[in-house]
Amino acid sequence: MKTLYKYLSVVLITAFVFTTSFTLQAGNKDRTGQAGATELLINPWARSSGWGSANQSKVRGLEAMWGNVAGTAFTGGTQFIFANTQWLKGTGTNIMSFGITQHVGETGTLGVQIMSMSFGEVDITTVANPDDPQGTFKPNLMNFGISYAKTFSNSIYGGVLLKVISESISDVSAVGVAIDAGIQYVTGAEEQITFGIALKNVGPKMQYSGDGLSMRTLISGQDFTLEHRAASFEIPAQLNIGAAYDFNFQNDYRLTTAGNFTSNSFSKDQFSFGLEFSLKDYVMLRGGYTYENGMFNNTLDVENTNINNGFSAGLSVQVPVSKEKGSYIGIDYSYRESKAFNGNHTMGIIFNF
C-alpha cells in the first residue's frame, strides 16, 4: 500500500510540473463564449476565493464542494456556511450561497450546497413598445449540489459531487446535471505537503424551452402556435491541478504557499498563486493572483476575454465556542479584482462543530 501511495504522489507531482511547464499557450480561446451555465465557474465562498482559488489542493470542509470535493472529507463533525457575494459590484448582481457538510460513519462525509444568483428586476418590453415596459421579470440562476467524500488513508482523500443546474426567466428555462470528482494527497512529516486534482462540470448539454419560445401566426388562413427550438449548449468543463506547502512556525503560526493550474474547455487556461498567513487559526490573512494570457492587453483587445483575473485578498477571524477541538464560529471576507465595475466582494459566516 505504501508503494501505491508513493507512485500516486509521483504521478501527481509529474502531472503538475508537466502541465504548468508546457501549457502556457493552452486553453481553447476559439471556443470562448460558446458554453452556457458559466455561473458554475464562480466561486461563491469567501475563504478560498480570497487567494484566487489557488488552494484547490488544500481546500477543506464545505468550501471544497466548489473547488476540490475531496477536501470535504476533512470535516470532523458538522459545518455550515452562509455567504453573500456582490458580483461585479455596480451591476446589481447578487449571489446567495448556503451549505452544510456532515461527517458520517468512520471515514465518510456528506455535503449539500445551494447557490442562487439574481440580477434584480428587468423591464419587459416588446417590439411594438420598446420604451413602454409591460411589467418586470426576474432572471434566476440556481445550482444545487450533493456530495460524498471519503478518507481512504492518512494520505489519500477522494470525493464526488452531483450538481443540478437551473436557469430561468419568466417563460423560458433550462435544467441540466453535472458531476465533479477530486482527489487530494497529503504527505510530509507534519502533513505539510498537499497535491490535488479535480475534474469539474462534466455533464450532458443543456437546452432552453418554454412558452417564451412560442409564437402565434397565420398559415393559409389558419391560426397556429409555432415553437422555436433553442440550440443546445455545453457546460464549461474544467480541470484543476494544484499543490500547496505549509511552513509551520512556533506558537502555532503558519504560512501556506499554494499554486493551481486551471484548464478551461471553453476559455483560456489560468494560473493562480497564493499565500495565507495564520495566527493560531484565530486570524488568517490571504492573498492571491490569477494570470491568463492576454489579461494585460487593452480592455477592448480581442485577446483580453475575461474580466475576472488579477489580484485577490481575504481575511478570516474565528473564535472557539467550546473546549472541543475544531469547534468555532468565523467571519470571512474576500475581494477579487475585475477589469470592469468595482470588483467582487464576498462576506460569509461559518459554523464548525
Q: How far apart are CA 38 and CA 106, in angstroms?
A: 36
Per-residue pLDDT at 58 exceeds 90: yes
* Structural domains counted in the chain: 1
Question: Contact, 159 vs 130, CB < 8 A?
Answer: no
Summarised one tens digit per residue, pLDDT across range 16-41 is: 444 444 444 445 666 667 788 999 99
SS3 assignment for 60-72:
CHHHHHCCCHHHH
What length does the chain have?
Answer: 353
- pTM summary value: 0.86
Element (H, E) at 180: strand 173-187
**Weakest-pLDDT range from 44-48, 160-164, 226-230, 289-293:** 226-230
In DSSP terms, 261 is beta-bridged to: 241, 271
* CA angle, 132 then 138 then 143, to 5°: 155
Summarised one tens digit per residue, pLDDT across range 302-348 is: 777 788 889 999 999 999 988 777 799 999 999 999 988 899 999 99
pLDDT-derived band at 271, boundaries 50, 70, 90: very high
- Higher pLDDT residue, 176 or 35? 176
Q: Which residue has the cell 459566516?
A: 349
Query: Would you state the pLDDT for residue 30?
Result: 67
Q: How far apart are CA 33 and CA 159, in angstroms?
A: 30
Q: What's the domain range around 326?
A: 2-352
Summarised one tens digit per residue, pLDDT across range 63-115 is: 999 999 999 999 989 999 999 999 999 888 999 999 999 999 999 999 999 99
Per-residue pLDDT at 10 exceeds 70: no
Query: Would you state the pLDDT for residue 204?
Result: 95
Q: How far apart are CA 277 and CA 256, in angstroms?
A: 7
Q: What is the CATH number of the domain that holds 232?
A: 2.40.160.60
Summarised one tens digit per residue, pLDDT across range 106-144 is: 999 999 999 999 998 888 888 888 888 888 888 999 999
Cα 295 to its chain centre, rounded Å, is: 20
Q: How far apart are CA 114 and CA 82, in angstroms?
A: 10
Question: Contact, 97 vs 114, CB < 8 A?
Answer: yes
Per-residue pLDDT at 13 exceeds 50: no
Q: How far apart are CA 182 and CA 60, in angstroms?
A: 12
Q: Where are the beta strands (DSSP E) in 119-172?
A: 122-123, 136-137, 140-151, 156-168
- Average of per-residue pLDDT across 39-65: 94
Nearest CA to 343 among 314, 315, 296, 311?
311
SS3 340: coil
Per-residue pLDDT at 178 exceeds 90: yes
Question: Contact, 216 vs 228, CB < 8 A?
Answer: no
Element (H, E) at 248: strand 238-248
Average pLDDT, the chain: 87
Residues 6+ apart with CB under 8 A from 174: 36, 165, 166, 167, 168, 206, 207, 208, 209
Q: DSSP string covering 37-88, please?
A: -GGGG----HHHHTTTTTTTTT--GGGGGTS-GGGGGG--SEEEEEEEEEET
Per-residue pLDDT at 222 exceeds 80: no
